[in-house]
Structure 1
Amino acid sequence: MRGLSQRVQAMKPSATVAVNARALELRRQGVDLVALTAGEPDFDTPEHVKEAARRALLAGKTKYAPPAGIPELREALAEKFRRENGLGVKPEETLVTVGGKQALFNLFQAILDPGDEVIVLAPYWVSYPEMVRFAGGVPVEVETRPEEGFIPDPERVQRAITPRTKALVVNSPNNPTGAVYPKEVLEALARLALEHDFYLVSDEIYEHLIYEGEHFSPGTLAPEHTITVNGAAKAFAMTGWRIGYACGPKAVIQAMANVSSQSTTSPDTIAQWATLEALTNRESSQAFIAMAREAYRRRRDLLLSGLASLGLKAVRPSGAFYVLLDTSPFAPDEIRAAERLLEAGVAVVPGTDFAAYGHVRLSYATSEAQLQKALERFAEALSRAQV
């Protein structure tokens, strides 16, 4: 009778978390390693946000919060979604979660029955298909291609729709490709959701990290079909604070909150008050975002020019802080290439679990000095591979 459940045994651990943990452990052991693995800003949380957390502590705001989030933050979220995304939502149509990851996890638990299909655009963030499977759903991959800039083809998506299609997941700016989907493409995908009556899950966690192009929220076109997911982690360098948020149809949001009520109860109360400051102190927060975005832009350009000088191929990302690198000059497959780069002193994430075969993901959320060192080590690994 004893043992683990089949659904837990079938779930793979997050590849990005595992690789980053390995890199951190090697560093702790004294290994001189450049880690291009972490999907988190290397900047500290802005001081005005930390000060808000201190105020909350001093004010004794340390008790349980409602499962859907403190009312003040939900009101601020409704205003944020209206102002920045053009989404006419009410506070009761918003939800605060333990990171954006919990928002997605709760969503799939709330909407999926066994056998329901969810279309995911490959390459994809590693957790989407695992969350779908854990909820009893079936992930259906639709490829995006390097030669097309990893931009989805709506006709390709349409061909994947079946009577069992329950949802389509879009992520723009994208992890791991850095692609920013054009407005007309997102509009076409939203029309598919309307025509075929399925949910559109729009993961917009990187919305403030766009270097070319503009952000567009497809929920403006299909509000009753779209659940928009976001969070404080990337924009405000609050990864460890674990605050995500979402908005969408009231019944779906309430169902997601019900899942929270039986799991985490609520997100961290102090972190919610800090996030309220991040959203409402717009002058300080926008200054921080602009500073970080410009730093990432410089780092991206440094990394891309260095890779090009070595004859290495990568599709130019327009957002987020990732580059997918073609690994064919290093090894026959992305796993062996990642191993050879690690031997050269650079930790990267193999594209396998992203469905980015023949690629590794590089995160440029690190200093320019570290990126320059990584490029030097790429050159060393390349010379060894060509011997």
Structure 2
Amino acid sequence: MEYETPLFFRVMAYANEADRDVVDMVSGNPDWDPPAALREGLREYADLEPDAFQYPPSVGLRALREEIAARRGVDVEQVVITNGAGEANYLAMARALERDRGEEILLTDPVYPYYPGKTTMLGGRPAYVATDETGRLDPAAVREAASEDTAAIVVNSPNNPTGAVYPEKTIRELVTIAEAHDAILVSDEVYDHFDYAGAFSSALGIESNHRIVTNGFSKSMAITGLRVGYAVFPHHLVENARGRHMLVNVATTRPGQYAVLKALHETDPDYYERNRERLRERIDAFTEALEAAGAEYTRPEGSFYVMARFDGFPGTVENTFELIDEAGVAGMPGSGFGDSREDWLRFALVTPRVEEAADRLAGYLG
């Protein structure tokens, strides 16, 4: 089975080898501190008895699964703790395909590149539904594209790369479409803590056997290196997902799960609001500089990415490398997210050097 190495790695490798200072706006690695309770949890773990350093239950620590289930209003047996949200999406998409209801995975355009990569790796066939200019998905377009060969519809809200947030009406209609075609809606909600518009709606709010919700703590707790995610499956789909998870990963990090649970118990909501406010300020600063440079841009309703388009400078890999060499700013080429944004570039606002990066872009492209 052939599939492409994600373009992220090529761009990051090029930036790392550059013979100059480069502001990294490629990857979504938060630059702020994790919750204090999470650090304390890791310190506590170091002093536990030897059996705490052995395999955890494959599906995850029971206490963490119970906490997630209580917060999300689901049965604990539906929750599988995964190696980040990335594995959660892999399990969800695999589960949709192995039901033998079809081989097509409907994705959005633009799309987070790992979704089509996983689709191809799993033997599925990606198909695309274009979003509108704000990044929103029109359910009518999904309904028109769906068929008896549709195994899954994969959506991400708040969205990477557009920053769009899908309202409850959209999510409800997407679940209805999945039910009509005996497909699975896979709703990736890993950016749910970064909703600036107040419009986010989880698919877990809709009762259905045709939706799987994935999430994780990498972004919300600024711990992309700990790899603690989860998926919530309908009861009739969870057993096979558990089996695949065990065969692929055995389990995920026990210290990470312990620390995440402590952070869930002891972290004040102000922690998340401070980080949202930090990002609001960065969005303002970055988009103001883009506007001054005459660029077209998206203003995110959620997540922490901005897409920008400069006249005469399309978002190709070659132009991305040029920006690294000449402007000292590393972003992602829009062509990596699908055909509809190939003229655009995507920038992650998870660096304290946002204003400096914007000034460099304006100076080179303005």
Deviation at 1:298, TM superposition (A): 0.5
Structure 1 segment 140-179 matched on structure 2, within 5 A: 140-146=127-133, 149-179=134-164
Paired residue for 2:108, among 121, 146, 149?
121
Aligned partner letter, 1:294? E
Deviation at 1:39, TM superposition (A): 0.9
Aligned partner letter, 1:335? V
Runs of 5+ in structure 1 lacking a partner? 1-6, 83-88
CA distance in structure 1 between the aligned counterparts of 2:14 and 2:196, rounded to whole angstroms = 31
Contact 1:173 1:207 in 2 (8 A): yes
Structure 1 segment 192-341 matched on structure 2, within 5 A: 192-283=177-268, 286-327=269-310, 329-341=311-323
Deviation at 1:16, TM superposition (A): 2.2
Aligned partner letter, 2:309? D
CA distance in structure 1 between the aligned counterparts of 2:180 and 2:307, rounded to whole angstroms = 33
Contact 2:190 2:215 in 1 (8 A): yes
Residue by residue over 1:23-52, the C-alpha shift from the partner in whole angstroms, topping out at 9 and shown as x without a partner, is 3444xx6x2111111112111222210111
Alignment partner, residue 11 of structure 2 = 19
Contact 2:78 2:234 in 1 (8 A): yes
Paired residue for 2:71, among 50, 73, 80?
80
Q: Secondary structure at the match of 2:302?
A: coil
Q: Confirm or deny that 1:71 pairs with 2:56.
A: no
Contact 1:190 1:219 in 2 (8 A): no
TM-score, normalised via structure 1 length: 0.89
Deviation at 1:99, TM superposition (A): 0.6
How many pairs are equivalent? Answer: 359
Deviation at 1:307, TM superposition (A): 0.5
Contact 1:67 1:258 in 2 (8 A): no
Structure 1 residues 21, 340: closer, same or farther in 2, change over 3 A?
A: closer
Q: Secondary structure at the match of 1:241?
A: coil
Aligned partner letter, 2:336? D
Residue by residue over 1:55-97, the C-alpha shift from the partner in whole angstroms, topping out at 9 and shown as x without a partner, is 1221132110111101111101101212xxxxxx111100101
Indicate the RMSD between aligned Cα atoms, in angstroms. 1.6
Aligned partner letter, 2:12? N
Aligned partner letter, 2:198? G
Identity fraction in percent: 33
Structure 1 residues 22, 192: closer, same or farther in 2, change over 3 A?
A: same
Deviation at 1:154, TM superposition (A): 1.0
CA distance in structure 2 between the aligned counterparts of 1:333 and 1:346, rounded to whole angstroms = 13
Contact 1:191 1:222 in 2 (8 A): no
Instruction: Say which is worse superposed, 101-110 or 288-297, in terms of deviation.
Output: 101-110
Deviation at 1:217, TM superposition (A): 1.0
CA distance in structure 2 between the aligned counterparts of 1:13 and 1:44, rounded to whole angstroms = 30
Paired residue for 1:94, among 71, 74, 79?
79
Contact 2:92 2:231 in 1 (8 A): no
Contact 1:340 1:381 in 2 (8 A): no
Q: Secondary structure at the match of 2:107?
A: strand
Instruction: Say which is worse superposed, 197-206 or 255-264, in terms of deviation.
Output: 255-264
Runs of 5+ in structure 2 lacking a partner? none
CA distance in structure 2 between the aligned counterparts of 1:190 and 1:21, rounded to whole angstroms = 39
Contact 1:144 1:151 in 2 (8 A): yes
Structure 1 residues 375, 282: closer, same or farther in 2, change over 3 A?
A: closer
Paired residue for 2:31, among 29, 38, 42?
42
Deviation at 1:19, TM superposition (A): 2.0
Aligned partner letter, 1:64? Y
Contact 2:307 2:345 in 1 (8 A): yes
Residue by residue over 1:287-313, the C-alpha shift from the partner in whole angstroms, topping out at 9 and shown as x without a partner, is 221111110010011111111111100
CA distance in structure 2 between the aligned counterparts of 1:140 and 1:183, rounded to whole angstroms = 24
Deviation at 1:179, TM superposition (A): 0.6
Deviation at 1:333, TM superposition (A): 4.8
Superposed structure 1 runs of 4+ greater than 4 Å apart: none
Q: Secondary structure at the match of 2:297?
A: coil
CA distance in structure 2 between the aligned counterparts of 1:282 and 1:375, rounded to whole angstroms = 33
Contact 1:73 1:272 in 2 (8 A): yes
CA distance in structure 1 between the aligned counterparts of 2:207 and 2:144, rounded to whole angstroms = 20
Aligned partner letter, 2:286? L
Paired residue for 1:373, among 335, 350, 356?
356
CA distance in structure 1 between the aligned counterparts of 2:61 and 2:263, rounded to whole angstroms = 15
Deviation at 1:282, TM superposition (A): 4.2
Aligned partner letter, 1:345? G
CA distance in structure 2 between the aligned counterparts of 1:106 and 1:25, rounded to whole angstroms = 35
Instruction: Say which is worse superposed, 268-277 or 13-22, in terms of deviation.
Output: 13-22
